[in-house]
Structure 1
């Protein structure tokens, strides 16, 4: 098993988009469900509004996950606050709001959840999104010197890493053959890649460099267990009810 050189212990499972398939994605309801199921870490996406404020949203358009429409980057904060991000999942979640990054950080700290903050910029806003998100991460998590670990990554992660040199950063890649050069350029401490893109050569290269590998999106507990046995450090999952760390399904 890879032993991360991060100054904090990586959990084996991250709840994808806050609560996986059990809650509306990127919502506080998802964070609460993840914590209730015994998860120690969550992943969520952050995009900027027209006011350059960071909100938990994955898509550039609002239609799929809310009752709004239009581009996130053209929508003001006041409008985003009025939208419903829960009813599309189930009537029980009607009225669930889109959270700001600040609200998500507060909830994570209250619930004892580590966070993987994925930078999701709209086209043309890569650098600004990385810089804004990194600055807020540094402020909200106190420079990442707390018990709850934070990793920032994704498109714009380079700008984020430069804006917040004390933050832990990860490289989100498919990955290309020269991924290690990119990791070194941005001082990335973890590599995040699609499970189907993973091969033994990549694992060996990452192990030699002391860089933990995290795989997405893994919804089969048998696949998750196989990846962990091969040397993957953690997986991101939508099925936290059966892949979660408290399910006792993993061989160490």
Structure 2
């Protein structure tokens, strides 16, 4: 992408830790703090409906139990995804990807969609999420950015919706990551912020890739990344960093 259309600051899972992550309440709170782009995690229900949830299991952020991908969307949609956070959000539900996408488009909010497959469903999740993203954002001036730690999911997304931009998520520089990034035609590397140094910045610039970082919650870390010349920061601290 010669013209990078995304803002420098991205709200992690909505409004990070100020609200129950990956819910509509979190997305709204991120918007209230002035953020124009939201990062969210999307996986599939047992009946193939894409919805927002980070973990493979339900216990940490809902009142459900077990593997989320083993349940139908009808069962998942009845869970409480807010009570774990605070009394203010009791009754907040898990949102479908369609509901979040429609809210974001109606309110001028951009999306960084992390494809977060239940283990063993990488290709299916990448295909469905990319297909739905292309449908829901059809005609949008700025498309969503699809990212994943799982190359298999990104290859499926590439095949399903080749026009949507992709980014490879990296928590370490594992053997073969560079070959996969090239084969996937990524527009960005989205790295654990500690990975960025002059050498990795040089690799990204050589390939024309934009440089994003997660999850940056301290001012010193943000200042280091801007000094390196990186392009975007994903943060929980929507109350600390003002997105200009």
After TM superposition, the score normalised by the length of structure 1 is 0.91
Q: Residues of 2 paired with 1:178 and 1:204: CA distance?
A: 18
Q: Residues of 2 paired with 1:158 and 1:68: CA distance?
A: 31
Shift of 1:163: 1.0
Matched, 1:153 2:150: no
Q: Residues of 1 paired with 2:11 and 2:125: CA distance?
A: 23
Q: Residues of 2 paired with 1:228 and 1:236: CA distance?
A: 13
SS at match of 1:240: coil
2:195 aligns with 197
Q: Is the 8 A contact 2:143 2:164 kept in 1?
A: no
Which of residues 79, 88, 94 in structure 1 aligns to 2:90? 94
Q: Is the 8 A contact 1:13 1:236 kept in 2?
A: yes
SS at match of 1:61: coil
Shift of 1:78: 1.0
Q: 1:109 to 1:12 in 2, by over 3 A?
A: same
Shift of 1:152: 0.7
Q: Residues of 2 paired with 1:6 and 1:100: CA distance?
A: 32
Q: Residues of 2 paired with 1:43 and 1:149: CA distance?
A: 13
Q: Which moved more, 1:49-58 or 1:220-229?
A: 220-229
2:229 aligns with 231
2:35 aligns with 39
SS at match of 1:87: coil
Q: Residues of 1 paired with 2:194 and 2:146: CA distance?
A: 22
Shift of 1:244: 3.4
The structure, 1 or 2, with the larger RCO (C-alpha pairs under 8 Å, 6+ apart) is 1
Matched, 1:27 2:9: no
Deviation per residue, 1:85-133 (Å, 9 max, x gap): 0111110101111000000101111221110000111111010000000
Instruction: Give 1:1-252 correspondences, 5 Å limit.
Output: 5-142=1-138, 145-154=139-148, 155=150, 156-173=153-170, 174-176=172-174, 178-246=176-244
Q: Residues of 2 paired with 1:38 and 1:28: CA distance?
A: 16
Q: Is the 8 A contact 1:220 1:243 kept in 2?
A: no
Q: Residues of 2 paired with 1:107 and 1:225: CA distance?
A: 32
Q: Residues of 1 paired with 2:7 and 2:168: CA distance?
A: 18
SS at match of 1:161: helix
Deviation per residue, 1:178-228 (Å, 9 max, x gap): 433212201111111101122210101111211011010000123212201
